[in-house]
Amino acid sequence: MKSERRQSRLGVIGVIGAVLFSVLGLRMWFLQVVDAPNLELKVQANKTRTVRLLPERGRIFDREGRILADNERVLSITIDWNVMRDSTDRAELFARLAPVLDVSITEMEDRYAGPIGADGRRSGSRYSPLLPMPVKEGVGEDVALYLIERNEDFPGVDVSAGWNRQYPYAPLAAHVVGYLGAITKEEASQYRDLGYDLNERVGQFGVEKIYEPYLRGTPGYVKYEVDSRGAILDEIERVEPVAGNDLQLALDLDIQQYAEQALETQLRLRRFVETCQAKDENKLPVKPQFPECQNLKAPAGSVVVMNHSNGEVIALASYPTFDNRWFNSGISGDKFAQIFPKVDDPDKSILVNRAIQGQYNLGSSFKPFVAYAALDAGQLPGGVAYKYFDQGSYTLTSIDEDTCQVVKCVFRNALCGGGNSPCFYGVVTVEDALAVSSDTFFYKIGEQIFSERGGQPILQEEVRKFGFGSKTGIDLPYESAGRVPDKDSKRQLVEDGVLMEGESPNYLVGDNVQLSVGQGLLAATPIQLAQSYGALANGGAVVRPLVAIALLAPGTPDAAIAGVADLSKSEVVLKLNTTNTIRKIELPTEYRDAIVRGLQRVITGPGVDSDRYHATTGERLFASYPYEVLPIAGKTGTAQGAASLPWNDSSAFAAFSLDPNQPYTVSAYLEKSGYGSKAAAPVTKCVFMALANAVKTPAVVPSDPLDLTSTLVAPDRSLPSNRCLGGAAYGGRD
């Protein structure tokens, strides 16, 4: 029995041994035959080291070649990750480097392991583990030589050459040009898939972001043979990087600078205007519901200048503005937070391009499109010949008297002549109603186009043709689509808690009445306002606004003038402004002519005679405008703010040239700055005077060096003369 058991055990052991030897043999065969190529690659990889060579970023020019974004060759200090693995060695190295580089140990630890989060843990380094960790960018040659000569004291520390972005005319056009920033955690996966190293700086705003793939260029690499310690023995292969494409913008820096100066000057002036504007029959101020009058806030605004024949954006200003050089200045995180503080008040938001992101009521500047809607939908008997008797107020006819006890049914014109009575315009046509901005004319349209068509969104469909409620497609990031209110959008606003508690989720006739004068739930951007007025100007073509007009081959040479590139020697790789029409609106000549004549009279007069002469909303302001040099047509708008308090009213104005050889459209929007005729219209007037060469625009010169001791996000700027703003004291509510 014992012999049989022994033989059985030996048999089992033999089987197990045979299986093990078979598996081992199979594995050896696999490694030597099947997987041999992969193993060879790994061996070779252990003998080589590949270093990425980043390209020079493409430069950005205005339409005349002035350099808005340039590059400067800089030296950076890096540390090999291997020498930082031991926490004690890392701490000692950081302590020695801190006084040499003027970088705190905390900042170096943040770069190594990421900043400490709310949970007390570090978030992890954002830098690539395959490349040395950058400690400080933009060091001087003396610092670099000091560290190189003392490499035994600073093991793993090296010097690398790279590029630093420069903005020679900053803060001019900062919202358009944008800035570079580190790749965020949210972007890491996207950029890694595109072949970026995570320690690269990428466009984070403006055209720097939109045209990132073209501006970046193509990286190169150098492959070294290294020994077991990682020391370089020889260079095996080198592929030089290819610089990024240069980019030519449509911006004219002369007009851009003047628009920014006019906007900022006017906002500053409007802050000192008291809002006790209404007066009684004795011309004495009428106290508002609060005991003391208040100054206007006038915190922000924007200006858009566009060529309405091809969509080229000649200028785009947004305030508050910023100096984009702060983003590559090397300041500490604490200093950056001091300059760009986090705020909850939207009035104080800096990194917002209000021209394309602001969502506003447009007030009466929206009326031309309501007029078109009424004409195109056949809402006005007799079309452009339709006449309406404006008595100063309008009472809804589609709502019964009992309902009118709980909802607003009577709508009035703006107060007239500084008194307490609404303006009485008498018999008005479409043209007259636009010229003097008759609210009741449009209230009637708003009610009847809704109630007589079974609540169908006729008005909405008509105004959407001009681009309201959808993005314009401008080549800048973060554009808002705005909103043309209808039953779906109102229901969503109620569900989201945006509207006041108790607001009906149903789209009512009163909502349409408010929409007819550019109020209520309408939300539009200044760029949409410019696009839509441009369509009126050019006969119905809705064109896509474009900031950039051409991609150029890398390496556009400099001109003899400092700060300017020689575009005559540039090579156009791709024109961006060739096919730019989004849609063509059917705009019959009789409709367009009536609307344009009304907008032309806003500028030149005449107004209307009823109980007395009523001037148009702009004729007194534009009395000093050189109309014969550059004829224009436009419309004022006052968007009522919270609680209908006058210091919450925002000011809008849009106008276009009637000269086909100078196809400009300008829109201006000044938040909480009062009547359209008193805030936005003067800014637009100044810009058109600059376009007509009727004012001398100051020379555009490169900026002084950035003052790193300053805490100003951007210096204050003003018009060299305020005379073009003259006449702002005149005009009615709109």
Compare 367 and 102 and report the one with higher pLDDT: 367
**Does the pLDDT of residue 228 top 60, yes or no?**
yes
Residue 176: inside a domain: yes
First to last CA, the chain: 115
Find where tokens 């070649």 sit.
Answer: 65
Boundary residue ending a domain (145, 165, 185): 165
d(CA 637, CA 625): 19
**Does the pLDDT of residue 358 top 50, yes or no?**
yes
Residue 1: inside a domain: no
C-alpha to C-alpha distances, 273 to 173, 264, 296, 648, nearest whole angstrom = 28, 15, 6, 13
3-state secondary structure at position 60: strand
- pLDDT classification of 131: cutoffs 50, 70, 90: confident
pLDDT at 669: 98
Mark whether 675 and 533 lie in a shared domain: yes
Mark whether 569 and 705 lie in a shared domain: no
Mark whether 188 and 282 lie in a shared domain: no
**Does the pLDDT of residue 139 top 80, yes or no?**
yes
Boundary residue ending a domain (165, 199, 225): 165
One-letter amino acid of 118: A
**Does the pLDDT of residue 151 top 90, yes or no?**
no
Say if residues 682 and 725 touch (Cβ distance below 8 Å): yes
Mark whether 400 and 378 lie in a shared domain: yes
In which region does residue 495 sit, left (phi positive, over 0), alpha (psi from -120 to 50) or beta (all else)? alpha
pLDDT at 730: 42
Compare 11 and 485 and report the one with higher pLDDT: 485
Mark whether 566 and 708 lie in a shared domain: no
Q: What is the pTM of this model?
A: 0.86
Mark whether 393 and 271 lie in a shared domain: yes
d(CA 44, CA 297): 68
Residue 657: inside a domain: yes
Q: What is the CATH number of the domain that holds 556?
A: 3.90.1310.10
Mean pLDDT of 176-205: 91
- pLDDT classification of 415: cutoffs 50, 70, 90: confident
The pLDDT tens digits of the residues spanning 282-301 come to 555 555 555 567 788 999 99
How large is the angle between the packed helices 87-101 and 141-149, nearest 10 degrees?
A: 140
pLDDT at 330: 77
Q: Output DSSP code: residue 31.
A: I
pLDDT at 56: 94
Residue 402: inside a domain: yes
Mark whether 494 and 564 lie in a shared domain: no
**Does the pLDDT of residue 18 top 70, yes or no?**
no
Mark whether 84 and 232 lie in a shared domain: no
Range of the domain at 157: 72-165
Residue 471: inside a domain: yes
Mark whether 173 and 294 lie in a shared domain: no
- pLDDT classification of 577: cutoffs 50, 70, 90: confident
The pLDDT tens digits of the residues spanning 229-264 come to 555 678 888 999 999 999 999 999 999 999 999 999
The pLDDT tens digits of the residues spanning 627-637 come to 999 999 999 99
Mean pLDDT of 371-392: 96
- Comparing 135-139, 178-182, 309-313, the range with the smallest average pLDDT is 135-139
Mark whether 429 and 470 lie in a shared domain: yes
State the burial class of residue 497 (Cβ atoms within 10 Å of its Cβ: 0-12, 13-18, 19+): exposed
Residue 340: inside a domain: no
Q: What is the CATH number of the domain that holds 720?
A: 3.40.710.10
Say if residues 134 and 127 touch (Cβ distance below 8 Å): yes
**Does the pLDDT of residue 437 top 90, yes or no?**
yes
- Proportion of the chain in helix, strand, coil states, percent, rounded to 5: 35, 20, 45
What string of DSSP letters covers 260-283? HHHHHHHHHHHTT-BS---B-TTS
Compare 344 and 364 and report the one with higher pLDDT: 364
How many structural domains does the chain have? 3
Residue 342: inside a domain: no
- pLDDT classification of 731: cutoffs 50, 70, 90: very low
Mark whether 675 and 700 lie in a shared domain: yes
Residue 492: inside a domain: yes
Mean pLDDT of 123-133: 75
Mean pLDDT of 195-200: 85
pLDDT at 23: 64
- pLDDT classification of 420: cutoffs 50, 70, 90: confident
Boundary residue ending a domain (165, 182, 209): 165
- Comparing 115-129, 480-494, 537-551, 640-654, the range with the smallest average pLDDT is 115-129
d(CA 467, CA 584): 11
- pLDDT classification of 44: cutoffs 50, 70, 90: low
Mark whether 517 and 646 lie in a shared domain: yes
Compare 308 and 18 and report the one with higher pLDDT: 308
Q: Name the β-bridge partners of 396.
A: none
Q: Output DSSP code: residue 549.
A: E
Compare 130 and 443 and report the one with higher pLDDT: 443
